[in-house]
Amino acid sequence: MRNAYVTLNSFQGLDKLLREMLKLVLHNRRINFVIILLFNLSTTTYSQFQLPEYEKYTLPNGLTLYLMEQHEVPLVYINAVFPGGAVWDGEQNGLAALTAEALLFGSKDYSKDQIEQAFDFLGANISTGAGTEAAEVSISFNKDDFEKLFPIFADVIKNPSFPQVEVEKRKQRWIAELEQDRESPRRVIRNYFNKFIFGNMPYGNPVNGTGESIERITADELRGFFNLHYPLSNACIAIVGDFNTGEMKAKVENFFPSTPKVDVQLLPKELTKEIELPAGNRVLLVNKDDSRETTFMIGGKGVAWNNPDIVQIDIINTILGGRFTSWLNTELRINSGLTYGARSSFPHYKYNGTFYAYSFTATENTVEAIDLTLQVLDRLHNEGVDLETLTSAKNYIKGQFPPDYETSGALADLLTTMFFYGLDDSYINNFEANVDAMTVEKAKEIITKYFPRENLQFVLIGKGDDIDDKISKYGEVSIKSIDEDGF
């Protein structure tokens, strides 16, 4: 029910009477009426969704702090981001991810058990993780529990201890999980695809590493990685929820007093280089002898976070493979029955990105499914999109947009994303205007510029003996075994 209430507040311009009516309905649990009313409200013209007001501060130690008050529910969400992603792994793939997880293995003032018990007892949450470019620590709790839980959060991000016993136990489980992942091609194909696209560029580093690389990591290396990539002067903390901004700022400053600033790079400079793909199509076949299906990705270069056409690209990708009624899913799943799902995506990073179309099919249908995927991509280039199709995608995009930021947790994550990727408020506030500005003519330009039809990169995971002689028509084929360590 909380989500429904927050959704109400996502619509700007609702008058007080409607707001009070909906509160009353929610209180009486008239769910069907709520759904009908929300549908009617969502189809009414209101002012565009805007980013709620917030304050941004730079503390004396360099830490960036975002504070956004949201008083609908008595909860507080905190998200911290650090330049500690897998692009910094070097030869030790998985180092960033294991470091992020090991933050919760204990700190200067709290053991692993104390951290877990404190959050469990109060019904709060704490989590850590690292992706390709950044690492995050997130917590959420009742506002009355700030004094009990924020000190733990602060100690975790300032003074983790990385106890050897806990590190070794997690390493063994991690290695077992990596072995299990190889039994499911859908879990690992992105690693093969990124490595195929980026080569030795750090963007090709597998976030979770490999069995051999994880085995080599020591607790001392985790400490060293933390010291290099978790300085507060390069970090950002976003706090969203039920609090007073002035009081919260004073509390945070008390936990993070002024210290000498440490200047380190957010990301390796080599990431700014543009991807250089070989001329002509290439195919990587990852052989899995016991496979009964082929999982495949087809694509190439994508775009970075700051690309000025990113909204327009998303609209076209929605048509191609970004929703259930997309062209790819319609042709490969609904019309032909070759798969249970097909999609396309533009994963983007700070300086680069990729594009791929993805699906899976029975081994005997491999060529038919890939050919159909290529036909759909050709259709996008040869026929373009008409006004009706474009309007449908624009409405879908605008309808999905506000709910993505309806919770305080989502807003905290958004603020740290904006910090890390250098985005300003226009990323949110101009979104609907950018969608509305999309025309059929602009769509043609976007398709030609960003959706590849040449120098395509194919990655297939399947039974090599059954398909290797059939896929050479797509490009030069290289083969490796899924049993090999690495990607």
Residue 263 lies in a domain: no
Same domain (yes/no): 205, 330: no
Residue 277 lies in a domain: no
Q: What is the pLDDT of residue 406?
A: 86
Same domain (yes/no): 60, 194: yes
Residue 390 lies in a domain: yes
Quote the DSSP letter at residue 196: H
| pLDDT means over runs of 10, the chain (487 residues) | 32 39 40 37 53 95 95 97 96 96 97 97 97 98 97 97 97 96 96 96 96 97 96 95 96 84 79 87 97 97 95 98 97 97 96 97 98 98 96 95 90 96 94 95 97 95 96 96 93
User: What tokens were used for 474?
Assistant: 């797509």
Q: 191: left (phi > 0), else alpha (psi -120 to 50), else beta?
A: alpha
Q: What is the pLDDT of residue 276?
A: 85
Q: What is the pLDDT of residue 261?
A: 67
- The DSSP line for 58-94 is E-TTS-EEEEEE--SSSEEEEEEEES-SGGG-TTSTT
- Cβ atoms of 268 and 462 within 8 Å: the answer is no
- The DSSP line for 431-476 is HHHHHHT--HHHHHHHHHHHS--SS-EEEEEE-HHHHTTTSGGGSE
What is the 3 state secondary structure string of 307-330? CCCHHHHHHHHHHHHCCCCCHHHH
Same domain (yes/no): 290, 336: yes
Same domain (yes/no): 345, 366: yes
For residue 231, how many other CB atoms are within 10 A of its CB? 21
User: What tokens were used for 134?
Assistant: 């950044």
pLDDT tens column, 308-356: 999 999 999 999 999 999 999 999 999 999 999 999 999 999 999 999 9
Angle between helices 16-27 and 2-10 (to 10 degrees): 170
Residue 186 lies in a domain: yes
The burial class, CB within 10 Å (0-12 / 13-18 / 19+), for 113 is exposed
Same domain (yes/no): 357, 323: yes
How many domains are there within the chain?
A: 3
- The DSSP line for 104-140 is GGBBSS-BHHHHHHHHHHTT-EEEEEE-SS-EEEEEE
Same domain (yes/no): 64, 105: yes
For residue 435, give its domain range.
Answer: 282-481
pLDDT tens column, 47-57: 578 999 999 99
User: What tokens were used for 130?
Assistant: 């690292």
Q: What is the pLDDT of residue 47?
A: 54
Quote the DSSP letter at residue 335: I
Q: What is the pLDDT of residue 36?
A: 33
pTM: 0.88
pLDDT tens column, 259-296: 666 677 789 989 998 888 888 999 999 999 999 999 99
Same domain (yes/no): 38, 81: no
- Cβ atoms of 135 and 100 within 8 Å: the answer is yes
